[in-house]
Chain A
Amino acid sequence: MRYVDEYRDGAAAQRLADRIRAITTRRWNVMEICGGQTHTIVKSGIDSLLPSEITLIHGPGCPVCVTPLEMIDKALAIASRPDVIFTSFGDMLRVPGSSKDLLSVKAQGGDVRMVYSPLDAVKIAQRNPERKVVFFAVGFETTAPANAMSVWQAKKLGLKNFSILCSHVLVPPAIEALLSSPSTMVQAFLAAGHVCTVMGYEEYIPISAKYKVPIVVTGFEPIDILQGVYLAVKQLEEKRYEVENQYSRSVRREGNRAAQQLIHQVFEITDRKWRGIGEIPMSGYRLRQEFSDFDAELLFEVANIQAEESPLCIAGTVLQGLKKPHECPVFGKECNPEHPLGAPMVSSEGACAAYFHYAPIRTRQEA
């Protein structure tokens, strides 16, 4: 497949791994922010190519994992209504709320549909004028333009039966929250290429300067990630800290202005709660006042739903690299891929799930 295979070439990967090994003189912790990057790392076994001095810490950039529990509960309450068609990206359907998930609501008779684009949800609303169509608008800056477009288009079409349940989050405030914790182990970041394709990387420059931390805007293919790690390690070894752009085939410094404009027409910045982390100031989007007719939280009066999270899991310390997954007291016992207690155990890309699967093999090799 052209434009993809070039970035998955085995020989090129090996050369990059060798170059990383050649410049590495001590231990470094590099965090990849985005769940998509974590997915590539685990899927291609990039960890196993890197020198043992380099630890990749899997960051909180998975929209599925950071959507707060009460937002899931709100989605469940809305989706259970007989007058509603609830639409969502596929992987949100299995995320459990306090008592069940969206797939269970579907099994109990709710009209829950998976869509690939929020614009498909708008089409469903046009075709079903007697039903109320709600789209679960989650994600980082990457999905924000399409989600904004759905609301903008629904308004233009004069649709009265379309709304979104909005739980958008933003990357830079999360990086700042991680860095401002005095115990953080993260020494460099791979920023998420797709987020920066939309937003550019100007907002990362002051963060890099303030916390003296290298930030490399990185793509999603194996070669991208190895190059990103190389650039980050090179900065660390040379005691530099700046924002570099590995993903220049997609990312421009200023980003995509048209997409940003659309986002700012429809959304405004707000404080946002992150699942398990808590509220991070100015870290999310909500609908602007003039689009409040499309706000499912208001329309279905679910704004007051509250929920309590499980206190057992130590994923926060794992995400900062302070502890390895198997050092957690509930790892592999109360918490396993079928009964996850924390985000990193939920999907096969998570740090804890990866350890759960690989641990017996690694242990045997070490023995």
Chain B
Amino acid sequence: MTENSKNVEDNLGSGIACPLPLTDYKNVLLAHGGGGKLTHQLIHKIFLSQFQNKWLDSLHDGAILPMNGVRLAFTTDSYVIDPIFFPGGDIGQLAVNGTVNDLAMCGAKPLYLSAAFVIEEGLAMEELWRVVVSMQAAAKEAGVFLVTGDTKVVDRGKGDKLFINTSGIGVVAEKVNIDPKRAVVGDQIIVNGPIALHGIAIMSVREGIQFGTKIESDTAPLNGLVHRMLEVCSDIHVLRDPTRGGVASSLNEIAESANKGIMIVEDVIPIDEEVRGACEILGLDPLYVANEGKLLAFVPAEKAQAVLAAMRAHPQGKESVIIGEVVDDHRGKVLMRSRIGGSRVVDMLWGEQLPRIC
């Protein structure tokens, strides 16, 4: 036996020592903004440890603030998308719809938005104009007003064309109580149409991976749809828009908050053919790809069919479908029944979703 093969054998016996990922980073990584576990760590270790208070601690899409007998919903979000114009939308439309949707996911009727612009020196005035026109159109469609704002211009090279922050307030109707902790066993989980459109649309125009496709972002305001759903059933338990991190991350967050198990069924999750094809080629899992016009609703079983019917009658919910339910098993985890009848854990994303070699 040669010295080499002896070593190999010893190591096979004693173990393959392998990558030791670093979780305590000295610098902020892109993955800290990816919506997965690193984002979770950043929020908990850095932000929550300082900002802790009873309104923030629910970690909902927005804060619910009781005030003189009215419950206000308050939320904020920043938009840093590259490119700023993409198939199916632009940064302005996204900035309005995103904040409108965050309010809607609190069960609130969105009313007023602020808009703050961080503009890189040199941005074409025509591009800024197109974004602003698009924001106004989106606000009109959602029935909200942009009532206050701010503008900053930074040196060329110190920003990426245009960043927009929007904050919004809305009012939560009486009886409505949306909270991830309220998911209970038997709740039916509804999604309002095909997933993963936004993320794949953006990826299809990024440098380095252009591919010919007609896939468009699904960016849309969901407040009209939510309003209709709450009319049919004011007791909807949970609403969540699965933006970055996708459906898988949202479901994991809810399973963890409620300490319940979630079982979804691969076969019924709506995914467009072209999106499936793109995901196959890029080695991505559509469950982790971002959406901008989708919601997940956890509805009491006896109301599920009525809510589903109402959703299907609404323009934003024509392709709504039940994709799973809350179960009294594997608490805090999400499982999926695969197309071939097996089951697997749908875990939270650890960092950014990276295409695989093999």
- Write the B257-275 contact mask toward A (1 if CB under 8 angstroms, else 0): 0000000000100000100
Please classify the interface of chain B as helix (H, G, I), strand (E, B), loop, or mixed, using the class held by over half of its residues: loop
Check A276/B340 contact, CB under 8 A, given A89-B357, A94-B21.
Answer: no
Selecting from A37-45, A158-166, A211-219, A284-292, the interface stretch reads: A37-45
For residue B200, give the distance in angstroms from its CB to the closest CB of chain A.
14
B residues 218-244 near A (Cβ < 8 Å) are: none
| Structural contact, B342 and A47, CB atoms closer than 8 A | yes
Number of interface residues of A (CB under 8 A): 97
- Judge if B294 is at the interface, Cβ distance under 8 Å: no
- Judge if A271 is at the interface, Cβ distance under 8 Å: yes
Contacts of A278 in B (CB 8 A): 4, 7-8, 10-11
- Judge if A304 is at the interface, Cβ distance under 8 Å: no
A65 CA to B276 CA in the complex, in Å? 27
| Structural contact, A313 and B12, CB atoms closer than 8 A | no
Contacts of A62 in B (CB 8 A): 358
Partner of B13, one of A183, A275, A343: A183
- Write the B325-358 contact mask toward A (1 if CB under 8 angstroms, else 0): 0000110010101111111110100110011111
| Structural contact, B17 and A143, CB atoms closer than 8 A | no
Selecting from A113-121, A199-207, A240-248, A254-262, the interface stretch reads: A113-121
A317 CA to B14 CA in the complex, in Å? 7
- Write the A213-242 contact mask toward B (1 if CB under 8 angstroms, else 0): 000000000110000000000000000000
- Judge if A95 is at the interface, Cβ distance under 8 Å: yes
For residue B195, give the distance in angstroms from its CB to the closest CB of chain A.
16
For residue B268, give the distance in angstroms from its CB to the closest CB of chain A.
12
- Most chain A CB inside 10 Å of its own CB: which residue of B11, B15, B209, B337: B15
- Write the A98-141 contact mask toward B (1 if CB under 8 angstroms, else 0): 00110110111000011110001000000000000000001110
- Judge if B22 is at the interface, Cβ distance under 8 Å: yes
- Judge if A34 is at the interface, Cβ distance under 8 Å: yes
| Structural contact, B12 and A277, CB atoms closer than 8 A | yes
A203 CA to B355 CA in the complex, in Å? 30
A116 CA to B283 CA in the complex, in Å? 10
| Structural contact, B357 and A108, CB atoms closer than 8 A | no
A residues 42-87 near B (Cβ < 8 Å) are: 42-49, 60-65, 72
For residue A171, give the distance in angstroms from its CB to the closest CB of chain B.
12
| Structural contact, A96 and B19, CB atoms closer than 8 A | yes
Check A13/B30 contact, CB under 8 A, given A180-B5, A276-B16.
Answer: no
| Structural contact, A8 and B354, CB atoms closer than 8 A | no
A103 CA to B21 CA in the complex, in Å? 11
- Residue on A with the closest CB to B353? A90
Check A275/B341 contact, CB under 8 A, given A90-B354, A94-B354, A103-B31.
Answer: no
Contacts of B12 in A (CB 8 A): 177-178, 181, 183-184, 277, 316-317, 319-320
- Judge if B23 is at the interface, Cβ distance under 8 Å: yes
Partner of B9, one of A181, A222, A360: A181
- Most chain B CB inside 10 Å of its own CB: which residue of A93, A104, A107, A364: A107
B residues 1-48 near A (Cβ < 8 Å) are: 2, 4-5, 7-23, 25-31, 37
- Judge if B127 is at the interface, Cβ distance under 8 Å: no
| Structural contact, A222 and B15, CB atoms closer than 8 A | no
Contacts of A138 in B (CB 8 A): 357
- Write the A157-193 contact mask toward B (1 if CB under 8 angstroms, else 0): 0000000000000000000011011111000000000
- Residue on B with the closest CB to A174? B8
- Judge if B280 is at the interface, Cβ distance under 8 Å: yes
| Structural contact, B209 and A339, CB atoms closer than 8 A | no
Contacts of B212 in A (CB 8 A): none
A320 CA to B14 CA in the complex, in Å? 11
| Structural contact, B341 and A61, CB atoms closer than 8 A | no
A100 CA to B24 CA in the complex, in Å? 10
- Judge if A268 is at the interface, Cβ distance under 8 Å: no
Contacts of A61 in B (CB 8 A): 358
Contacts of B209 in A (CB 8 A): 116
- Write the A1-23 contact mask toward B (1 if CB under 8 angstroms, else 0): 10010001110011000000000
- Residue on A with the closest CB to B330? A361
A249 CA to B238 CA in the complex, in Å? 47
- Judge if B157 is at the interface, Cβ distance under 8 Å: no
Check A63/B345 contact, CB under 8 A, given A113-B208, A276-B15, A315-B18.
Answer: no
- Judge if B277 is at the interface, Cβ distance under 8 Å: yes
For residue B263, give the distance in angstroms from its CB to the closest CB of chain A.
11
B residues 172-222 near A (Cβ < 8 Å) are: 208-209
A43 CA to B209 CA in the complex, in Å? 25
Contacts of A24 in B (CB 8 A): none
- Judge if A91 is at the interface, Cβ distance under 8 Å: yes
| Structural contact, A103 and B276, CB atoms closer than 8 A | no
- Judge if A338 is at the interface, Cβ distance under 8 Å: yes
- Judge if A25 is at the interface, Cβ distance under 8 Å: no
A139 CA to B26 CA in the complex, in Å? 30
| Structural contact, A120 and B340, CB atoms closer than 8 A | no
- Residue on B with the closest CB to A49? B342
| Structural contact, B21 and A101, CB atoms closer than 8 A | yes
Partner of B329, one of A115, A182, A315, A361: A361
Contacts of A13 in B (CB 8 A): 340-341
27 pairs of residues in contact across A and B, judged by CB atoms under 8 Å: A4-B280, A13-B340, A44-B339, A64-B357, A65-B16, A65-B19, A72-B19, A90-B283, A95-B21, A104-B22, A108-B27, A114-B355, A181-B8, A222-B339, A223-B340, A275-B18, A276-B18, A277-B11, A278-B11, A281-B4, A281-B5, A316-B15, A317-B12, A340-B18, A340-B20, A342-B15, A361-B335
Closest 5 CB pairs of A and B: A45-B342, A276-B16, A343-B18, A90-B354, A13-B340
Apart from A271-B4, A315-B15, list 15 A-B contacts with CB within 8 A: A34-B358, A43-B344, A49-B340, A62-B358, A96-B20, A177-B9, A178-B12, A194-B358, A275-B17, A275-B19, A280-B4, A281-B4, A311-B14, A337-B350, A340-B21
